[in-house]
Amino acid sequence: MFTAPPYLLDFLNYMETVKGKSPNTVNEYFYDLRLFLRFIKSFLMLKNKTVDEQIPIEDIPIDQIRLITLSDLYSYMSWLNREKHNSPTSRARKVASIRSFFKYLTDKASLLDYNPAHELESPKLQKKIPKYLSIDESSSLLNAVTGESSERNYAILIIFLNCGLRLAELVGIDINHIRDGSLTVVGKGNKERVIYLNQSCINAIEEYMKVRPHDGVKDRQALFLSKRKSRISREMVQNIVKHFIILAGLDPKRYSTHKLRHTAATLMYKHGNVDIRSLQEILGHESISTTEIYTHVDNKQLKDAVASNPLANFVKDLT
């Protein structure tokens, strides 16, 4: 249960029930806006030069929110940069939360006559080429799977590397989500999409189902189970992935569960002749601009491109 002023609680309920945001996303909105309101209370209401990050926010009246200006919002962004050392990505997420919050207060709840966040700009983000495993590194990771629960762990890794699921999507797989060689995934915002399983995924799931516990299972529909026979947790999957990354001789600081999603997307695009629109559908991206990061080229492609120039072998006789 959130401890917050009524207008913030109403906003969070709106985002979950009307906009269809997942509980995790709603939690992120709350944490972002709680920090923002603590900044407002400390700096504007109490005239402090520091932000008390334990200060309660439920007593901040809507009249104080009406006094917030665009300048105040940029002061908050500056504070996040200087004092909190937030990255541009983290600040961009907080900008998005603030924009949604003030848009709701102005357009939906009619609590504000003016939206100060309307002109609030997001930090410019540098597009980074996603880190991913090569085919050989992916093979090494899969070959490293041995020991207890190897059928389950292998199935987890093979699905990550072939289907490009998010961590929460993999953990949330139910047995009845798998039918006729396809997997129904519940992604961000509770949006469903269908992913067609290739033979390696089908084989891995079948082998795991042969040893998956049946008696005393707490969540009978959950595909992947822990030793306690309950749905496997995100933390456990992260630990499993890290364990086998180390066993495969790879850098655990460089690769993670999300990097396996990057790997699947990159390998599909580079080697599977998958067009960008299909890749967007497989990954469950709302915007194709997010998918476009996988259209990057590697150093070999750049070298080959230059080498293919018709003048690459031109030699001038200088004698």
Check if 271 is active-site.
Answer: no
pLDDT at 299: 52
What's the mean pLDDT in 307-311?
68
Angle (CA) 79-85-86 rounded to 5° is 90
Which of 166, 177, 242, 243 does the annotation list as catalytic? Answer: 166
Amino acid identity, position 11: F
Residue 265's CB is within 10 A of a number of other CB atoms, namely 24
pLDDT-based confidence at 271, cuts 50/70/90? confident
Say whether 234 sits in a helix, a strand or coil: helix
Question: Cα separation of 276 and 292, whole Å?
Answer: 7
Check if 166 is active-site.
Answer: yes
Check if 220 is active-site.
Answer: no
pLDDT digits (tens, 9 = 90+) for 234-250: 999 999 999 999 999 99
Rg (CA), the chain: 24
Which of 84, 103, 243, 258 does the annotation list as catalytic? Answer: 258
Check if 258 is active-site.
Answer: yes
Amino acid identity, position 65: I
What are the beta bridge partners of residue 178? 183
Of residues 308 and 120, which shows the higher confidence score?
Answer: 120
Question: Cα separation of 8 and 57, whole Å?
Answer: 10
Which of 103, 131, 188, 242 does the annotation list as catalytic? Answer: 188
Check if 188 is active-site.
Answer: yes
Domains identified in the chain and CATH numbers:
6-108 (no CATH), 135-297 (1.10.443.10)
pLDDT at 298: 53
pLDDT digits (tens, 9 = 90+) for 54-69: 899 999 999 999 999 9
Task: Determine the straight-line distance between the first and last CA of the chain, rounded to whole angstroms.
Answer: 84
Name the pTM for this structure: 0.64
Least confident interval from 24-38, 40-54, 72-86, 228-242 = 40-54
Which of 132, 154, 208, 294 does the annotation list as catalytic? Answer: 294
pLDDT at 303: 61
pLDDT at 199: 92
Check if 261 is active-site.
Answer: yes
pLDDT at 309: 67
